[in-house]
Structure 1
Amino acid sequence: MEDSPITTTATNRIERLLTEPYRLFQALGVAGAGLFSLDIVSGDYHCDDNCRRLLGVEAKQSLNYSLWRELIVELDREEVIHAFERQLELQEEQFDFQYRIHHPRGERWISMFGTFYRNAIGEAICYEGVLQDVTSQRMAEEALKRHQKRFRTLVDSSPDIIWECDEQLHISYITPRIHSLTGYSVNEVMGRPFYELATVAEQQALKVVLQTYSAELATITGLTNHLQSKRDNLVVVQTNAVPIFDSNGAFGGFYGVSREISDRLELNRMRYEKDLALGNSEIKALFMLNTSHELRNTMHAIISFSSLGQRRAESAPPQKLRRYFDNINQSSVRLLQFINDIHELAELEGAQAQINLTPLQVDRLIEQEWNRLLPQMAQQGGGVSLVMADNLPLMQGDEGRLQQLLQLLLTRVVRQHLATVRLTVERGDGVLLMSLAYPSEPLSDEQLSHLFDLNRFGTQTDNIDLDLPICRAIVQRHRGKIWAENCREGEVVLRVQLPFHQTL
C-alpha cells in the first residue's frame, strides 16, 4: 500500500526537524528548555541563550563548572554535586536531577537531564543535556503536599474512625482513632475484613449486611454496631459509607466514617431512666387506673363463678356447673394474658431491653404468619388479600419479635371479626413497608395519634388492650415507625416501616 501525499509530507517534516538543528532549538525554546554542554576535563560550560536565561546568567558572563556550582542553592548544592559525581563513578550514561538555583528573579527550580559521553577507556569527558524551569510544577507539587499533609492531619485527629475497604471488604486504610477507641493498632486491623472489627456476636450479621450493600451498590446510612475492644469499655459506633467505583464503573469497595455513639446512647439511657423515674404522672395514673379496673373485673368474675360453684355444687345440674368452670377458665386465661402482656411491654420498654438481630427472609416470615391465620380470617367472610413485592432483601431483625408483631396485628383482625382485610408489603428506600387495611369508622386525629399509647383508654368501662403498645415497642426496638391513617371511607390502615439493615 502506497503512502498518501499527506503521510509523506508529515514524515519529511519530522525528518527535517531532527536533521536541522535550528528547528530543534526552536522547538526547545517554545517548550522553555535550553541546551548545555559541560566539558568535564576543562570545566567549560557551553549553553544556548535559553539556558543562560534559565540560569539567570548574562550573555557576556563566562560560565563554567565552578559558577554552575555556585548558582545552586546552598541547601541543595552538596546533594546535587554528590549525586553528579556518583554518576561519574558508576559510569552511568544519564543523569536526571532537580535542584534550586539563585536567580535574579528569585529562587527557581531547575530540572537537568543529560547524557555522559566517555572516551575509549570509559572516562567521562562531556556531559550534554537539557535544562528546564520547573518552578511552577514544583510549587504546585509542594502546595499539594502541604494540602495533603493538612488533610491527613485533620483526618488523623478526627474523633471519627475514617476508613476505606476494597471490594472484598478488607480494610485498606484506617485512621489511628481505631487505637484510641479499641486498643487495636492500625497495623493490627489493616487487611482484615471490616466486619471483623465488630464483636464476635455481631460479625456474621454485619458481614451479611455489608455484602448486601455491596451487591446493591448502595450507600450505607446509620449502620450501628459494637466494636471489639482490648479494654473493658463498651464501644458503639454508627457508620456511614459510600461505594467506590473505578474508571470502568466497577465496584471497588467503600469509603466510610464510623462515629462513636457510646456516650450518646448512655445519655439516652440516663434520660430514659430519668423519665421513668419522674414519669408522666397523667399517663401512669390513667394506666394504673385502667389496669386496676381490668384486674378487679377479672378477679371478680373468677371469685363470683367459683363462689357460685361452691354454693351450688350439690344442687346445680352438671351443665350449669360446667358453665361456671368455663367462665372461671376464660377469666383466668384472660387475666394471665393481661399479666403476660404487662410483663412483655415492661420488658420491651425497659432501658436494658435487647433484641437478637439475625439475617432473616422477611417475606417468608410474613407468608408463614399470614397462611397460619388465613383459615380463621377467611371464615369471617368478605375478602382477605396479601400483596407482597418480589425479591425483598434479607432483613436484620429479631425473628421472634417480628413474628410476634405480625401475630398481634393479624390476630386483631380475627378477634374483631373484620370481614375485609388487605395486607400490602412493599420495599422502600432501605426500609420494609407494611400496610394492614381493615374496615373501620374514621378515627379522629386524637385517636390516630394515641392509638398505640397506654393512655388511649378514656373510661373505666373500656377493656385494656396492650397489643398495639406492644407492637409499637417491637417496632421502635427495630428503629422503625408504626402509625395509623384513615385511608378511605370506612377503612383504617395500620402502617409499619422497618429498616432492612442494622446491627444493634
Structure 2
Amino acid sequence: MKNSTMERNNWHANLVQNLPLGLFRITFGPIERLLKANEAAAGIFGFESVEELIRAPLRTLFLDLKQRRKFLRKLISQGELIREQLKLKKKDGSQFWGAVSARVIRDIPGEVKYIDGIIEDITSQKQIEEALRISEERFRNIADEVDDWVWEIGSNLVIRYSNTRVNDILGYTPKEVVGRNLVDFLAPEEQNRIEGQKDYLLKEVIFASQQTCMVRKDGRIIITESSGVPIFRRDRSFVGFQGLTRDISEQVKTKEEQELRRQQLIQADKMISLGILVSGVAHEINNPNQFIMVNAPMLKRAWENITPIIDRYYEENGDFVVSGLSYGEMRGRFLELFSGICDGAQRIKLIVKNLKDYAREGNSGILQEININDIIKSSLLMVSNMLKNSTNNLRIELAQNLPLVKGNFQRLEQVLINLLQNACQALPNPANGVTITTSFDEKKNCVLVKIKDEGVGIEANQMEYIFDPFFTTKRDYGGTGLGLSISTGIIEEHGGKMQFSSKPGKGTTVSIILPALAPPQCPAPPADIDPNE
C-alpha cells in the first residue's frame, strides 16, 4: 500500500515537472508569494531554476500592477478564470504575453487559502494576431481607397465583408449589407434568374465582367459589373467568393447612345443613297411621263376635233369595229380613257416629286409654317400601296381650318410614315381598320393627330420599353427598334409629345400633340381627301 502511494506521488511529480505548461501555486493575503512551480514555469519567466523563481517577489513578474490587481479581484470574485491574457515580465525585464488559467482554493470556513494555476507563453500567438490585425487593417485601407465595391460572400451567398464603396454603389453602409444575402440586392428579374442558376453560380470557378441589375437603397435600378475568385480552406473545401463590383450604368447608357447614333448615321446614309437613287429614277420616269403629259392632251384635242367626222360616217354607214369593240360602245369611253391617261401621268409626277422631297437631304432646323393635313396627305400617298394591301377600312377625318404648326415638313412626314407603317403591320387581316384624325384643342392651343389601328395591340409589360432604342417586336420581319425612338425625338424637337394607349387584341392609338401657331384668320379649303387615290 505504501509503495503504491509513493509510485502515484512520483508519477504526479514527474508529470508536473515535465509538462510543457507552467504550473504554479501562490498564497493570497497581505503577503503574496509563490509557493510551488514547475520547471516549465521557471523557463517561461526566464529563471534558471524553480527555486530562483520562488524567491523572486511576485509583483516583479507583472508588467502592469494595475492589471495584476484587476486580475486578482476578478479571480476572487468568479472563483476561476480561463486563459486570461496578461502582460508579464521575465527575469531580464523583457515583457511577454501569458495566458493564465487559475482557480481559487478555499479552506473550510471559505477563506482563500491559495491560488493554483497554469500559465502559457502566447507571445508568438499575439504577434501573429497583431500581424494579422495590421494586415487586415492595411487591406481595409486599400479596399476603401479603390473605386469599386470590394466584397466577400459565403457559399450560401451571405455577404461576410464589404468595403465602404458599397455606399456609393448601392447607398448602403457596410454594416447594412454584411450578414444579408446578396440576392436581396438584385432586381426582381435577376433574382428569378439566380434562383434557377445557384448550382452553376457556386461551381467554384473564377468569373469576370458579369453584368447584373441591382437595386439601390433609394429603389433605383443600376447595371453593375462584377468579377470574383473562389476562396478555399487548407483542405480545399469551398468557402465562398471574394470580388469587386462597379456601377456601369453610365457606360451602358453611353454605349447605347453611341450605337443609336451609329444606327442613325447608317439610316441617314441610306437616306442620302436613296435620294441619289430616287433622283436618278425620277429622271428616268419623268422623261417618258413628260412625253405622256404633253401628248395625251394633244391626242384628246385631236379626238375632239375628229369626233364630228367619225360621227357623220357612223350615221351614214352604220356601226363599225374599233379595237375589237363597236364604235357605238367605244364612243363615250374615249374621252374617259384620255382623261385617265392625263390623271395617271399627273399622279406619277406627284409621287416622284414626293419621293424626291422625302429623300432629299435637308436642314433639320424648324423653319416652316406647316398645315399638318398636308403632311398627312403626302404621307398617305407615300404608303398608299401598303395601306391598300393591309386594310379595306381606311378612315380619314381631317379637321378643317386647322392652325399651322412650326416644323420641318420632311421630319414630321418621316414620323407619320413610320406610324402608318406600324399600324399596317399590326393588322391581322384586311377586315381590321385604320383611322386617322386631326383636331385642334383650343384650350391647350395644340394640334392633335391620332392614328388608331384595330391590330393586335401591345402587351402591358412591353409598353414601358416601346420608346427604347432597339426594342422591337418585329425583329423577325426586319425591324430595328429605332422607328419609335427616332420619331419620339423628332416630335420632342418640335416641342410636342407622343402618347400611346393599347389593349392586346383590340388595337393601338398613337396621339401626336404639337403646339399650334396663331389661329388662321380666314377659312382654309376643305381637307377631305380620297383614301383610294
State the structure with bigger RCO (CA 8 A, min sep 6), 1 or 2.
1
> Normalising to structure 1: TM-score of the pair?
0.49
Higher CA-based Rg: 2
TM-score (normalizing by structure 2): 0.47
